[in-house]
Amino acid sequence: MARANRDGIWPWLGLAALLVVADQITKVLILDNYQLGESTFITGFFNIVRVHNLGAAFSFLADAGGWQRWFFTAVGAAAAVFIVWMLRSHPGQKLFAFALACILGGAIGNVVDRLLHGYVVDWLDFHWGFLGGLFPGGHFPAFNIADAAITVGAVSLILDEILRLRRPH
């Protein structure tokens, strides 16, 4: 059974690696083609923008003085180790493993940014008028593919737990 678990982890690690590569390619394109703060209008609700996030989600602790770079790098690295361990233990639980692989890919993508640049490169800028009361100008905080993968993974974990609880025991 141990060998089957090790073999079963590879598709999930492959998905995580694919997410890291897609995330890093898009960030290189943004860094090469945009200056900090520069944006391109795409639609009435979406822009491409170059933003540097020194903190975590929603720029949490962005102004903390620099220690947060290493703290969030360590948290991301520890999460990656824990997720790989969890994947080894549960590779056959498809939705659970999918969720973990998405979170793993996203975490590594943002850790790479923190190590290379000292900040995370965000570039997806969605904005809707109805968000005006929550966010300046209705602009949801900019994010990237890694952040989207983490979000998909978190939602998938919640869905997996709901489905698990509804299964007959």
Catalytic residue IDs: 122, 147
Phi, psi at 84, each rounded to 5° = -60, -40
Phi, psi at 24, each rounded to 5° = -70, -35
Q: What is the DSSP string of 24-39?
A: HHHHHHHHHH--TT-E
Q: Indicate the burial class of 167 (C-beta count within 10 angstroms; 0-12, 13-18, 19 or more).
A: exposed
Helices H / strands E in the chain, number of each: 4, 3
- The residue behind tokens 């659970």 is 96
SS3 label, residue 52? strand
| Cα diameter, the chain | 56
> 133: which DSSP letter?
T
